[in-house]
Structure 1
Amino acid sequence: MPLLLRYRRYMGLLVMGIIGALLLSNLIPDPSGRYIWRGGQKGPDALWIERAHGQLQRLAFYLQDNFGFRASLPLVRTAIRDWANSPENGLIYVGRYGQLLWAGQNAAAQSAGSLLRKEAVERFAALMMALQRELAPEGTKVVVALPPNAQSVDLEQLPEWQDRFPAQTTEYSMLLDELKVRGVTAVDLRAVLRASPDSRRYLANDTHWTNLSSVLSFNAIMRAAGHPDWQVNVSEVVGPRGPYILGDLARTLRRSPPLPDTNQSLRLKEAGLPSPFVFYGRHEAKAFNGHGVRYADHGPRVLIIGDSYTLNTWVRLFAYTPVAEAAWMHISKTTYGSCDFDFADVKRFKPDLLIVARAERVFPCLNGAWPDHLPSPD
């Protein structure tokens, strides 16, 4: 009787072949590698041992990035899924007509209504009511307007497999109902953007909306805030579509996206002088620290509590209004955090209008989050 059955010999050869191929892959340059050196740089005043460690770190990153088919394997996986017409189950999936869609932070399930975090949504609504209760004696108007997920607006862009799931109540709709009951002014930006004259309201390869969508949303908020005269002239501010930088989703995809990157240009006035107001609350990313612009010595003051959707545009749009000072601050101490900003900054700024504009996919107040220096319901 042979020591090994025939099929076991073949299986052993197959296993050895796979192991050998894996070992060999560490010696063959990846055809999809970028072959750039990154990391490890040390300052000129660093010790020689620190500089040596940095060079070893750079070498490690180079080998990690460009050998072992680290870059090619995700592309092969994507090609197989495309061939099998299989819906993506990672952080990015492709819509019916080529738009890239983000699935991080449960965006797809949230927009479809299959995820409904009732307590977290109610806590966000309670937070908005608390802001209004604390600021109303000082004459502050609070308006809530959440930039929606692309999946909540560009319904015709959703992939065909999503047609099998019936529409359900979403967290966004639930929040609007809660705010209405609590007497807080809110704007349904889903409806505003669906009525846009442009059929593509979001960037083709990015998680964010187009410049036109941003301006239309701004105008809708001005109307809801009781300042229709503060709206900007869309034809004056928004220019034609043109090439746009590679979107954040396309950079993550690591392959050429189905659609080109385009966006409308913006024709904004020169920014005013930096506001002398200092925000004490700090964010994990320096670019997301609070800041403001001063346009006049006298007039209303506006504060936006939001995220990257409103970071660089809305403060500049107030240059077209009689607002004396416009400022922006992040709603959280971390990029994807929940509702833990410093309310002391808001109180010190004393806004006449407070706009809360957190992206739909991250607006729920998770894990009991609550702002610092604001009386908590707990």
Structure 2
Amino acid sequence: MPLIMSFRRWWAAVFVAVLMLPALGHLLPDAPAPMRTVLAPEARWWEDAARRLDPYINNTFGFRGAVLAAHRSYVRFIGDSQSRLVLKGEHGALYLNSENAVEQSIGQVVRPEEVARFLAFAQRMNADMAARGGRFVVVVPPNGQTTNFELLPAYARQLKKFPTEYDLVAHGLKAEGIAFADVRPLLAEAKKTGPVHWLYDTHWNRRGALIAFNATMVAAGRPDLQISPDDALGPPEPTMKGDLARMGGITPARPDVDYPPKGPTLDPPGQSALPGVMQPVGMTDPFESYAYSTGHAGPRILVIGDSFTQGFWRAWLAHSASAYGWTHHRYCRFDMGAVERFKPDILIYAPTERAMQCKGEPFGSSDGGSQGQPDQAPQGRSGG
């Protein structure tokens, strides 16, 4: 009597093929997947394989991308959400774990076509401002994952690759002769004497924001508009606030550091709103545009940015400019009519690193940017 009856041999072949699929998955193309958080099994994994080996297997099994994509689709289908928006790093640091911010900062996600679209957009804006006799400047507030890279989990630091999207943008803008304030080395140097980015918040602190503001004025050809930190910032003080701590329901283990405003950081008197420049936004939109005349000499400065500049830079703009304004970038689809109505001498485009991508056609519409969804502003932190 044969070991396997003839009519069951095909089923045996199918069974063996199924068992071989995970092994074949290491050799065949796979769908994109989240980055691996465990790169190697722990030492002496055979002594406690369930604890020491399973995490490695869970990060390296065949067709991992396809399986995880199917799982995400199933979770969306049943209306559940298992997303973890907050990533815990070293020494209690917190990071936004969405919009590919982690992967973007460590070079695991690089989208050359998106970088090319951003550079093409910047070229058009630069040409437009040159035709108006003004100056166009780009500054990109780095992700917290970029500024506080050393506090990322060890597996993320080990996965760092070059170039990142930020590197490609910086190189491309320089090659095109577009004014660009690369604040990364400045923030890295400043960190030697004090924090420049909150540990429990997606944003830079006031010290980091001021460093970037001054660098942007230099890139705009107006170093005289820089503001001294000694004049603008008070001594560091502890704070337990942070949008990431709030989002994750996490109580920080130790205080963060804030720098209270003083002097030029406080709104100077004598400002008056410029009517008809900025169109209103919806009641639920946290990014309300503004435009003001200050009543004193200076260039007209318009910032197209997000929550990294909306509130942080407002008083410094009022101190430096004869008129200043701010509106959200809408991922390159801002209201171009605001630029035409404001007539800036200096136009600053300032999307945070994770929001550099141009979504859809630039200059989305003249309706105040109603198309597209902006990034969400953390309440009570940088909404202006």
Q: Sort the Cα spacing of 1:183 and 1:372 in 2 relative to 1 into closer, same or farther, 3 A.
A: farther
Does the 8 Å contact 1:120/1:366 carry over to 2? no
Quick one: which of 321, 324, 327 aligns to 2:322? 324
Q: What is the identity, as a one-letter code, of the residue corresponding to 1:185?
A: A
1:1-378 maps to which residues of 2 (within 5 A)? 90-196=84-190, 197-244=192-239, 246-267=241-262, 268-272=265-269, 273-284=271-282, 285-296=284-295, 299-321=298-320, 323-332=321-330, 338-372=331-365
| Structural RMSD (CA) | 2.5
With structure 1 as the length reference, what TM-score do the two structures score?
0.70
> How many residues are paired up?
285
Alpha carbons 1:204, 1:259 under 8 Å: kept: no
Equivalent residue letter for 1:249? L
Secondary structure at 1:355 match in 2: strand
User: C-alpha displacement at 1:320, in angstroms?
Assistant: 3.4
| Superposed CA offset, 1:93-133 (max 9, x none) | 11212111112111000001111111122111111111121
1:205, 1:257 within 8 Å by CA — same for their partners in 2?
yes
Counterpart code for 1:194: A
| 2: CA distance, partners of 1:372 / 1:120 | 21
Moved more, 193-202 or 218-227: 193-202
Can you give the 5+ residue segments of structure 2 that lack an aligned partner in the other structure?
1-54, 60-81, 367-384
Whole-angstrom CA distance in 2 between matches of 1:112 and 1:234: 30
Distance in 2 of aligned mates of 1:101 and 1:291? 30
Deviations 1:142-201 (A, max 9, x none): 010010001112222121222331422111111111212222111111112111144422
SS of the aligned residue for 2:292 comes to strand
Which secondary structure state, in structure 1, belongs to the residue aligned with residue 95 of structure 2?
A: strand
Alignment partner, residue 31 of structure 1: none
- The answer for unaligned runs of 5 or more in structure 1 is 1-83, 333-337, 374-378
Shift in CA distance, 274/366, structure 1 to aligned 2, threshold 3 Å: same
Shift of 1:345: 0.9
Alpha carbons of structure 1 residues 89 and 290: separation in structure 2 relative to 1, 3 Å: closer
Q: Structure 1 residue runs of 4+, over 6 Å off?
A: 86-89
TM-score normalised by the chain length of structure 2 = 0.69
What secondary structure, in the 3-state scheme, does the structure 2 residue paired with 1:351 have?
coil
Which stretch of the first structure deviates more once superposed, 142-151 or 253-262? 253-262
CA contact (8 A) 1:292 1:315 kept: no
Paired letter, 1:211: R
Tell me the secondary structure at the aligned position of residue 304 of structure 1. strand
* Structure 2 letter corresponding to 1:316: A
Alpha-carbon contact 1:147-1:359 (below 8 Å) kept: yes
Aligned 8 A contact 1:278 1:291 in 2: no
Rounded to whole Å, the distance in 2 between the matches of 1:134 and 1:243 is 44
Deviation of 1:324 after TM superposition, in Å, equals 0.6
| Contact preservation (8 Å) 1:288, 1:329 | yes
Structure 1 stretch displaced more, 194-203 or 166-175:
194-203
Residue 136 of structure 2 aligns to a residue in which SS?
Answer: strand
Percent of aligned positions that are identical? 31
SS in 2 for 1:239: coil
**Rounded Cα–Cα distance in structure 2 between residues aligned with 1:144 and 1:208:** 18
1:198–1:371 Cα change, 3 Å: farther
Task: Check the 8 A contact 1:222/1:228 in 2, yes or no.
Answer: yes
Q: Which amino acid aligns with 1:326?
A: Y
* Distance of 2:193 and 2:364 partners within structure 1: 37
Query: Aligned partners of 2:84 and 2:272: how far apart in 1?
Result: 41
- Corresponding residue number in structure 1 for 2:45: none
Q: Relative to 1, partners in 2 of residues 1:198 and 1:311: Cα closer, same or farther, differing over 3 Å? A: farther
User: What amino acid does structure 2 have at the position aligned with 1:270?
Assistant: D
Tell me the CA shift for residue 292 of structure 1. Answer: 2.0
Distance 1:116 1:286, change over 3 A: same
